[in-house]
Amino acid sequence: MTKRALVTGADGFVGGVLCRHLSESGWEVRSAVLRDVLNPAGEFQCDITEAARVEALLAWAGPVDVVFHLAALTFVPDAIQHPHLAMRVNVDGTVNLLDACRAQLPESRFLHVSTSEIYGPPVTLPVREDHPLNPQNPYAISKTAADAFCAYFHRSTGYDLVRMRPFNHAGPGQSDQFVLSSFARQIARAEAGKTEPIVRVGNLDARRDFLHVEDVVRAYERAALKSEAGEAYNIASGTAVAIRDALGMLIEMARTEITVEPDPERLRPVEVAEVAGSSAKLEASTGWRPERSLEHLLADILNYWRGREHAAPTESA
């Protein structure tokens, strides 16, 4: 029998990839989007901070097997600049959606997408799900609050809920506000002759656990089908990679000579030095493991931006 899914944040980077993956896997997908435009069939415009609109969304979606909750303010600098908005979207929006789902979709499973940033600076590596929570910026603080509320909601109501804590992930189509996509777009623009062959960078010494977005959405589907209610699960490769090394791999793929220059505006006020997560719990529960290498990820991102920049008209950097 065909499974039915509701995906919030479907017009975001990961939400769009998840919708496509679920559809290709045989799910019937209903999408909640933020953009206020004429939407095609299967999409519903919804600001999750508005409780009445959330109730209307669920009435429109009808019975679903799984609600994949990805709608969030996710860009850390935006959350630093607008902390009130981060709290409204990431906390209030999640509370609105949970309350409405319990009332209108009592038989559905709710998969909440949190983030590894809730752990803060690792005390031990790799980071496991029982690691202390110590968020270091407004984005992470808001997601920690939402994660904690989800745990409370399951304990107090018994609602079928799973929390996912993905580590850094990227892929084709991600905004160039994010580090790997930023590097790749700058290289593609230089190859196309639109800018000087310079990549401007922030902190290259930070080490991160990178995953391909396709592996992450597979994990969401596996967890929706096989994980245990009330639990939290990391999604990680288990390996910390220096930003400097990832940039070096992209530069090796470049079709022109590239120079690297520091840019103080790309530095975060608080930066965690090294992060690597353990997905042992998720693997034991669902059998999920990452399939795509870092080289695969970087090549996919760079080729995406080549397709955009080499064919697009010149624009300012």
Give φ, ψ of 289 to 5 degrees: -145, 150
Domain containing residue 185: 179-207+239-276+291-309
Q: Is the pLDDT of residue 16 over 50?
A: yes
Q: Is the pLDDT of residue 219 over 60?
A: yes
| This prediction's pTM | 0.94
**Do 117 and 252 sit in the same domain of this protein?**
no
Q: Is residue 247 part of a domain?
A: yes
**Do 231 and 200 sit in the same domain of this protein?**
no
Q: Is residue 285 part of a domain?
A: no
5/225 Cα distance (integer angstroms): 12
**Do 162 and 51 sit in the same domain of this protein?**
yes
**Do 94 and 113 sit in the same domain of this protein?**
yes
Q: Is the pLDDT of residue 204 over 70?
A: yes
Neighbours of 280 (CB within 10 A): 15
Percent of the chain with pLDDT over 90: 90
Residue 133: which CATH number? 3.40.50.720
148/143 Cα distance (integer angstroms): 8
Interval 96-120 mean pLDDT: 97
Give the pLDDT confidence score for residue 269 in this predicted structure: 65
Q: Is residue 286 part of a domain?
A: no
Rounded mean pLDDT of the chain? 94
Interval 118-141 mean pLDDT: 96
**Do 86 and 107 sit in the same domain of this protein?**
yes
202/165 Cα distance (integer angstroms): 25
CB 276 within 8 A of CB 238: yes
pLDDT 10s digits, 239-261: 999 999 999 999 999 999 999 99
Copy the structure tokens of residue 88: 């409204």
Q: Helices in the chain by DSSP H: which ranges?
A: 13-24, 51-61, 76-81, 83-87, 93-104, 138-157, 179-191, 213-226, 243-253, 280-286, 294-309
Residue 267: which CATH number? 3.90.25.10
Residue type, 4: R
**Confidence category of residue 315, pLDDT binned at 50, 70, 90:** very low
Give the pLDDT confidence score for residue 267 in this predicted structure: 77
Number of structural domains in the chain: 2
**Do 120 and 202 sit in the same domain of this protein?**
no
Q: Is residue 315 part of a domain?
A: no
**Do 227 and 191 sit in the same domain of this protein?**
no
Give the pLDDT confidence score for residue 316 in this predicted structure: 40
Copy the structure tokens of residue 163: 């929390």
CA distances from 173 to 12, 72, 177, 239, 241 (A): 10, 17, 11, 24, 22
57/46 Cα distance (integer angstroms): 7
**Do 116 and 28 sit in the same domain of this protein?**
yes
**Do 189 and 299 sit in the same domain of this protein?**
yes
| CA of residue 35 relative to chain centroid, distance | 18
Q: Is the pLDDT of residue 317 over 60?
A: no
Give the pLDDT confidence score for residue 264 in this predicted structure: 86
**Do 246 and 195 sit in the same domain of this protein?**
yes
